[in-house]
């Protein structure tokens, strides 16, 4: 079942790269007590994700924070090392990159897609959401192959 506005995010473990190596992050703890703009991409270093999705959030991060967002985060079914390298290559220093290496978070929120035709296996759908103290306040899920409603610009226009 797909998560909906008003639902509490399920607790899963994500991984964030740090100077000391991979650090496990419980989603329940990460989203607690603050308002987070979360966006998900099918894969780091993939064309739309690298050319449009991540750069849009890098560009609009300050504007999102000016509207009451405490943190901007991205998740993808990639490992923490790939997410870290992708963030560095994109100049995304202030965006928190959360690796969902086994797709547990994507499965738990019901937003997976089958990328087997591209050799990618099960991945996250492309979406954006506002999470307020662990509860989904806003959710924008893209239609397959689209990039419209999950963009930073669209999310910003709805706050």
What is the residue extent of each domain of the chain? Answer: 13-157
Average pLDDT along the chain:
94
Q: What is the DSSP string of 9-26?
A: PPP-EEEEEETTEEEEEE
Task: Yes or no: say if 152 and 56 are a contact pair by the CB < 8 Å rule.
Answer: yes
49 is catalytic: yes
Top-level CATH class of 13-157?
alpha beta
d(CA 21, CA 81): 9
Q: Residue 21 — left, alpha, or beta (φ > 0 → left; ψ -120 to 50 → alpha)?
A: left
Which candidate in 36, 41, 49, 98 is catalytic? 49
| Per-residue pLDDT band at 51 (split at 50, 70, 90) | confident
d(CA 140, CA 128): 5
Who wins on pLDDT, 48 or 94? 94
Question: Is residue 119 scored above 90 in pLDDT?
Answer: no
Question: Is residue 120 scored above 90 in pLDDT?
Answer: no
* Model confidence pLDDT, tens digit, residues 123-148: 899 999 999 999 999 999 999 889 99
Task: Yes or no: say if 144 and 113 are a contact pair by the CB < 8 Å rule.
Answer: yes
Task: Yes or no: say if 74 and 52 are a contact pair by the CB < 8 Å rule.
Answer: no
* Model confidence pLDDT, tens digit, residues 76-94: 999 999 999 999 999 998 9
pLDDT at 109: 97
Percent share of the chain, pLDDT over 70: 100
d(CA 13, CA 152): 25
Question: Is residue 59 scored above 90 in pLDDT?
Answer: yes
- Global pTM reads 0.95
pLDDT at 116: 84
H/E stretch holding 36: strand 35-41
Average confidence (pLDDT) over 112-130: 88
Average confidence (pLDDT) over 7-25: 95
């Amino acid at each position: 079942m797909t998560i909906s506005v008003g639902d509490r995010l399920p607790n899963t473990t994500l991984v964030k790269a740090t100077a000391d190596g991979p650090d496990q992050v419980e989603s329940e703890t990460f989203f607690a007590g603050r308002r987070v703009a979360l966006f998900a991409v099918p894969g780091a270093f993939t064309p739309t994700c690298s050319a449009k999705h991540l750069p849009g959030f890098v560009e609009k991060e300050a504007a999102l924070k000016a509207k009451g967002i405490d943190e901007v985060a991205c998740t993808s079914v990639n490992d923490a090392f790939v997410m870290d390298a992708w963030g560095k290559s994109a100049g995304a220093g202030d965006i928190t990159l959360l690796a969902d290496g086994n797709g547990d978070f994507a499965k738990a929120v019901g937003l997976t897609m089958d990328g087997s035709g591209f050799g990618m296996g099960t991945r996250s759908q492309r979406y954006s959401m506002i999470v307020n103290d662990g509860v989904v306040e806003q959710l924008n899920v893209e239609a397959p192959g689209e990039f419209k409603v999950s963009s930073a610009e669209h999310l910003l226009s709805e706050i």
